[in-house]
Structure 1
Amino acid sequence: MRTRPGASVLAALTAAALFLLALFERRSVRKTRDRILAEREAEVCGKRMEHAVMLAQRARKHEERVYRLHHDIKNHLGVVYSMLEDGRNKEAELYLDKLRSELEERENGRG
């Protein structure tokens, strides 16, 4: 059986076309995969950043709360020292008892 000269050229062109198609398809799949991975990585990075910002905000609020508490304690100590210097020992004791009760109420109210 004899083949026509054009048929072998056509077969070679078809094989070359299929090879190129497979090559381009593989390249396209790789690019798509890489793009999807990059998008996922960016999303994860964004979520990490949001979480870091939230933690920083919590830390700042906690720091502010500690600062206010420190300020309040200094003021209360000043009041008690003033009472003790003036000889108002009983009044200082009552003041400290009231302060302790308020602190216990706050503590129990939170948990």
Structure 2
Amino acid sequence: MISIGANGFQYFVNYIVAILVAIALALALRLPLLPENPIRFSWTKSALFPTPVFAIGILAIFYSLNVFWIYDGIVIAILTGIFSALFVKYLFDYIFPSPQGGAE
């Protein structure tokens, strides 16, 4: 189903929900909270990066296509957070391999 839309506050709430669900599930899947030191040159995945970035990116794609589904998009925000945490945990290294010579 496609809804007419949501207001700006609902967008903000949905993005926050997607971020919190993604981080919580990533921590439950035992991803580290922060990448290893030095953070600037680390290629390890963590709960704070890139998990919420994928969540808000995929959610933004849904909203740009004007797809909100039910409850003004809150269900899509939850599903997006779950999908992004599972993606980073299990599929991230296959789609985005670490650079040559980089530590894993």
TM-score (norm: length of structure 2): 0.27
Pick 1 or 2: higher relative contact order, CA cutoff 8 A, min separation 6. 2
TM-score (norm 1): 0.26
